[in-house]
């Protein structure tokens, strides 16, 4: 009889990890940005392509990658992708033979951070052999449950693949991280998750810190995938959309006149609301105007002959100035909430106080993530969780590094650990949450 984990947790023993389990995969829904078929039959890759490629960038060390071609070859082989797909399908299915099930509690602190918070629990489940159930704990994003936004994890992404049971984890979990990652989350008066600052949680997330432990956290079977690819594929698997969200995708495509298949699109994320309310000294980033972004857009678009832009923004004024750029066709979702209180109060405060509809906010952000990930090149700022997730999803869709420019930080993923460098001042040696 399988035990489902939850409740309290003791402080875990720290062990030096030599492997991490990871992974993920693509969607079963037609039209989903996290599309299974896109990875199998898209113009970006073929099953015969090797995953090792000499010009693969290290996104933790560069803020830009502009390859000669708009559609570079896949950096992850179809065989490696298929193996990961089968692994995650197995641990999330009713055929999972592990004794215990983890239902990770999400940590709500902005939507990008919220979805990033499930990655390390997924890694832990795959490393030590736990079944995985739907994440739980929506509070600020007040949906009734995971499946309001996302497909159930038990829905297979690649049902025809068979998981090799001989690859099942053999190591013993000497930590209590399964309990830590599944215990209920409470929020203080300021809306901050209280467990985020507790010693047992800090120790568990540090066990999966790539900046601290490097490649040794990757298991032998995942060496071909690498850290960036592993995070990307986990996110893609977890964030497959629910039927209602897929229906909204189709409606939004029609409403904003999304271009025909084969037309290159540049994804642009411009933050002008709560990002400009937060102190640079606190987050190690700055608030730039739209013209600054568009200078980089011009560089990337001219290089790859792109004239269509998907614009994700919280600004209610910038959409009124787009006629200043007549050589571009801008696509954006008009129904998404912008401006107003968002120009005065950080969005997390608005969510915590109930002054915005949390579930609608989550759905709106999922739409932006979908269309940013569906683009063929990206301009934004990797100081933003949303931008990092969007580029991870873009990579997972194509299994390749698409053209990208971040106007501040390099890419990073280390949820719960301060390991992000300052994207504003090179002289500042302080690290920030990533």
Confidence check: pLDDT of 29 > 80: no
What pLDDT, on a 0 to 100 scale, did the predictor assign at position 85?
85
Check pLDDT > 90 for residue 222.
no
In this structure, are strands 418-420 and 432-433 parallel, antiparallel, or unpaired? antiparallel
Percent of the chain residues past pLDDT 90, beyond the cut: 57
pLDDT in tens, 170-207: 678 999 999 999 998 889 988 888 888 899 999 999 99
Residue 321: predicted pLDDT = 94
Average pLDDT over residues 95-110: 93
pLDDT of residue 30: 31
DSSP string, 20-60: -------B-STT-TTBHHHHHHSTT--TT--S--TT---TT
- Most confident option among 18-22, 85-89, 162-166, 266-270: 266-270
Residues 357-405 have pLDDT tens digits of: 999 999 999 999 999 999 999 999 999 999 999 999 999 999 999 999 9
Q: Distance (Å, rounded) from C-alpha 194 to C-alpha 207?
A: 20
Q: Is the pLDDT of residue 56 over 80?
A: yes
Specify the range with the lowest mean pLDDT, choosing from 178-187, 306-315, 404-413, 416-425: 416-425
The per-residue pLDDT for range 226-265, each reduced to its tens digit, is: 899 999 999 999 999 999 999 999 999 999 999 999 999 9
- Residue-wise pLDDT for 116-160, tens only, equals 999 999 999 988 889 999 999 999 999 999 999 999 999 999 888
Per-residue pLDDT, 346: 78
Q: What is the mean pLDDT of the chain?
A: 83
- The residue ranges of DSSP E strands in 225-321, in sequence order, are 265-270, 308-313
Taken in order of first residue, the domains within the chain and their CATH numbers are: 78-239 (no CATH), 242-433 (3.40.50.11350)
Is residue 27 over pLDDT 50?
Answer: no
Instruction: Decide if pLDDT at 23 tops 50.
Output: no
pLDDT of 400? 94
Contact 271, 318 (CB under 8 A): no
Selection from 237, 212, 211 nearest residue 126 by Cα: 237
Euclidean distance between CA atoms 274 and 351, whole angstroms: 12
């Amino acid at each position: 009889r399988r035990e489902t984990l939850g409740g309290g947790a003791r402080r875990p023993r720290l062990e030096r990890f030599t492997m991490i389990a990871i992974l993920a995969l693509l969607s079963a829904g037609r039209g989903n940005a996290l599309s299974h078929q896109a990875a199998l039959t898209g113009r970006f890759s073929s099953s015969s392509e090797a995953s090792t490629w000499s010009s693969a960038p290290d996104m933790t060390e560069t803020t830009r990658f502009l390859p000669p071609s708009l559609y570079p070859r896949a950096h992850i082989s179809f065989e490696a992708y298929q193996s990961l797909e089968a692994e995650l399908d197995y641990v999330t299915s009713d055929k999972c033979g592990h004794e215990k099930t983890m239902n990770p509690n999400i940590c709500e602190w902005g939507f990008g951070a919220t979805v990033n918070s499930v990655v390390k629990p997924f890694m832990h489940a795959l490393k030590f052999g736990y079944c995985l159930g739907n994440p739980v704990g929506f509070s600020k994003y007040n949906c009734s449950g995971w499946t309001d936004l996302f497909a159930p994890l038990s829905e297979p992404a690649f049902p025809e693949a068979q998981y090799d049971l001989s690859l099942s984890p053999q190591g013993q979990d000497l930590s209590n991280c399964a309990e830590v990652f599944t215990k209920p989350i409470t929020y203080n008066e300021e809306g901050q998750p209280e467990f985020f600052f507790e010693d047992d949680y800090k120790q568990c997330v540090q066990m999966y810190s790539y900046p601290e432990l490097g490649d040794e956290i990757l298991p032998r079977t995942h060496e071909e995938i690498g850290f960036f690819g592993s995070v990307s594929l986990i996110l893609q698997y977890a964030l497959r959309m629910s039927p209602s969200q897929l229906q909204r995708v189709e409606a939004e495509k029609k409403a904003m006149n999304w271009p025909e298949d084969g037309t290159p699109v540049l994804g642009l994320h411009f933050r002008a609301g709560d990002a400009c309310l937060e102190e640079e000294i606190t987050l190690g980033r700055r608030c730039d105007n739209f013209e600054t972004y568009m200078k980089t857009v011009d560089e990337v678009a001219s290089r790859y002959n792109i004239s269509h832009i998907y614009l994700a923004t919280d600004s209610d004024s910038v959409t009124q100035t787009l006629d200043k750029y007549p050589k571009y066709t801008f696509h954006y979702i008009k129904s998404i909430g912008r401006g107003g209180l968002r120009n005065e109060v950080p969005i997390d405060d608005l969510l915590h106080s109930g002054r915005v509809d949390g579930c609608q906010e989550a759905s709106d952000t999922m739409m932006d993530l979908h269309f940013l990930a569906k683009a063929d090149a990206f301009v934004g700022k990797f100081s933003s969780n949303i931008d990092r997730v969007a580029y991870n999803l873009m990579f997972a869709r194509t299994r390749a590094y698409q053209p990208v420019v971040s106007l501040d930080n390099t890419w990073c993923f280390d949820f719960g650990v301060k390991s992000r460098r300052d994207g504003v001042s090179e002289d500042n040696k302080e690290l920030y949450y990533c």
